[in-house]
Chain A
Amino acid sequence: MSAIRIVKRQEPLGWSSCLVLLAAILISLVLSGCILFIGGTPPLQGLAALFKGGFGSRFAFEDSLIKATPIFLCSLGVAVAFRLQVWNIGAEGQFALGAVGATWIALSFPGAPAYLLLPGMILMAVIAGGFWGFIPAVLRQKLKTNEIIVTLMMNYIAILILDYLVYGVWKDPASFGFPMTSEFSSSAIIGRIGGSNFHWGLVHCVILGLLCWLFMSYTRIGFEIKASGNNVRAARYAGIPYDRLVMLVLALSGALAGWAGFLEASSTINRLQPSIMAGYGYTAIVVAWLARLNPLYIGIAAFLLAGLRVGVEGLQLDLQVPAAFGGIIEGLILLTVLAGGLFTQYRIVTGAKK
C-alpha cells in the first residue's frame, strides 16, 4: 500500500523546528488576513498596519516592550505550572488580585516613603496573587477538583472583586462617578529608568526571569518539578512530595502574576481601574506554549505578542478593526503551532509499509 503515513522520530527535531514554528505563524497570519477580508478590511493593508503599529516605530517598539512586562511575568508563572502538567489558567485572576493587593497598600499608606511603600506593595501583591493560586492547588490535591475550571472560575471572581472595590469602597470621590481609585501618591509609583520611557519593572522582569531559570535548572525543587511533570507516578514512587510541589508551584505561579498586577497598577496606570484587566493572563498562556516553557524564549514571545496587541490598537485607529481581532490572531497562532508540533515529533513518510 502506497500512502502517506507518519512515523515517530527517534530524536526530536533540532534547529529546523524553528522553521516549523515560522511556518505555523505564517499560516496563522494568512488565516488572520482572510478573517480581515471577511470583516471588510483589505487584508494586506491590514497586516501591514498591524506590523507597523506594533514594531514599525520607536514609539511602537517602546510600547510593545512596556506591554510585554506584565505578559512576561504572568507567562513565567504559567510556564512553571505547565512544566508540572498543572494547568493554571488563572493568571488573569491572580494578576487582578495582585493589583488589588498592591492598591490596598498604596491607598492605606499614602504618606509612606517609597523605600517602604513599594516593597510593601510588592509583598502584598505577591501574597494576594499567590493565595489566589494556592486555593485551586489545595482543592486539586485534597479534593481532586479540576484545576483548569477552578482557576478559570477564580478569574471571573477576582475581576468581580476588583470591580466591586473600584465601583464601591475604593472609588475616588473626585472621579466624577468613573470607577477608579484616586491616583497613587508619588512614592507608590515605580519610576522610569533614567530619562527613558521604560519603568524599572523591566529590570524586575529580567531579574525574576533569571531567578526562575536558575530555580528550574539548578535547584532540587526545579528538578523535581520537571521530573514530576514528565511522570507523576514515577515521581511519587521516587519519594518526591508531589502534593506540596503542586501547591508550591501554583502559589509561585500566582505570585508572579500578582507581581505583574503590581507593576501594571504602580507603573502603567498609577491607580486601580477596571481597564487594568486587558487579558494579559490569557495571552500569557499563548506565550508560555509558544516559548515551550523556556524563560528566555518567553521573553521573546512576550515581546512579539505584546507587539501584536499594540499593532491591533493601531489597526483599530487606522482601519476601525475591532480590538477583538487580537484574540483571533492569538488563537490562530496557538492552534497552528500546536498542529506544527506534529512535525517536530513525527516524520512524514510516503511509500509502502514495511
Chain B
Amino acid sequence: MTSHDARVLAAAVKDGSTTASAIIDAHLTAIDALPHLHAWITRVDGAAREHASGLDAARRRGEVLGPLAGVPMGLKDMFVTRGIATTAGSRMLTGWLPPYDGEHATRLREAGAVLLGKLSLDEFGMGSSNENVPGEAVRNPWAADRTAGGSSGGPAAAVAARMIPFALGTDTGGSIRQPAAMCGVVGMKPSYGRVTRSGMIAFASSLDHAGPITRSVRDAALVLGVLAGPSDGDATCVAEAPGDFVGACERGAAGLRIGVHKSALDDDAIDPEVRRAFTEALAVLDGAGAVLVDIELPHAALAVATYYVICTAEASSNLARFDGIRYGMREPGSTMTASLEATRTAGFGAEVRRRILLGTYVLRENGRGAYYDRATRVRRLIADDYDRAFAHCDVIATPTAPQPAFVRRDRDADPLAMYLGDVFTVGANLAGLPAISIPCGFTAGPPRLPIGLQIVGPHWREDVVLAAAAAHEDATAWHRAAPPGTVGETSFGRGSS
C-alpha cells in the first residue's frame, strides 16, 4: 500500500478497490516504524482518520471525489494550519495555533488529500541540511549519518521512506529540489506567481515558492495542478492559464532542445559521481530523442552572492515581525526593548540570527547601494541570461546539487561552504523559473546515495519541464528505488520501465 503513487491511491479509492481509511492506517503504521528519521514535528492521526472516514462515507453516498481522494500527505511546517501547531521549525513560534488555514492546506483538502501532520525543516526555511532545528535533525533514509538536505528535509525524507506519497515543501533557493535530490525523490518548484504564497510563513518574499515533493513526475504534475491558480491572498499569484500538467507528461522528449551550460560543470567542487550521473542522464534524454545544445549563462557565477544578499535582506525585514508581542513566545524584560531582544535572541537559532545580521548589514544606510541595490540589478542580468538561453533551447539541465548527501554536522563551522551547495538551484529562484529535480542515479557507495538531475524551464512553462522530466523517468527506474527498511523495490538498476 505505501509504495503506491498518489494517483494510484486516489484511483483505488474512487473505484472502491480500497478505502481511504485503509490507506491512512497503512501510512500511519509506516510512520510509526521510522521514528528515528525525525521527519515529523506534529502528527494529527485522529483528524486524519476522521477525514478518511468522511471520504469513505462520501463515496458510499455516490459523491464525486477529488483528484487526491484519500491520499495521505504532509505539509512542511511553514504552511499555516488552523488549530494545528505551526512552528516554522523555530522556538519563536512555540505555542502558536494559527486561527486560519492557508490556501495550500485548503486546496489540498478540497482535492481530497488527507493531512497526516507537519514536517520538519531548517528553521524558517534557512538551511541546506535540516540541522538548523530546535530538536533532532532529520536523518537521510538512505544513510542515517547523512543529512536529508534542506530546508524541506522532513518532506523529502518522509516521501522517500514511504511514509506518505507526497508532501508540500517551500523553495527559496533550492529547498524543495536539493533535499529531493539527496533523498532520491522528485521535487518541483513552479514559476514565481504560479502557486500562492498566502498561508506560507515568509522567509524571502521575492524568492519563496511552494511546490510538491513526490515519488514520480506525474504525481508532481497532479499536485501542481491542484495548487496552481490565482489567489486573493497573494497579489503576485497571477491568473496565468495553468494548462494540462498531467497531459504534458505524455509528450515525450522527441525534438526537445536541452540546454547544457558546460563551463559550469568544470567546477572542482562537483563530485565526480554527480558529474558521471549527470552525463548519463543527458545520454538518457538524448536516447529519448532530445537534442543537446550548448548554452552560456555569463552571470551564473554571481548567482550565489546575489541570492545571499537578497534573501538575507528580505529575511531581516520579514522576521522583524517576531517581537514577542503578537504570537509565539515572549521572554520577560524590564522594558519593551529588553523583552524584544531577549525574545529574539532566545527564539531564533544560530543560522537565522546569522542571516538576520547579514541582511541588516546589506540593508544599512551605508551598505544598501553597494549590496542590496546592486544585487537587484545583477539579478536582472541573471534573469536576462536565462531569457537569451531559452532562445536556443527549451529547457536547461544541470545537476541539482554539486554533491550527494553530506555527513551530518560536517558543515557546521563553515556556513559559506553550505551556501555554495546552492550553486545550481538559486538561479531559478532569482529568475522565478519553474524547475524540477528528479532521481538520476546513485553513488557507488557504501553508502549508496541518490543523485538528482535538475531541469529548468522558461517562466510559465512547467509543461515543458514536466515533459522532459517524465521522458527521463519513463526511460529509467531510479525513482522506484526505496531506502533500506522501507517497502518498495530496492534495485539500483537503471533498466527500463
Partners in one complex: no
- Residues on A lying within 8 angstroms of B by beta carbon are none
- Residues on B lying within 8 angstroms of A by beta carbon are none
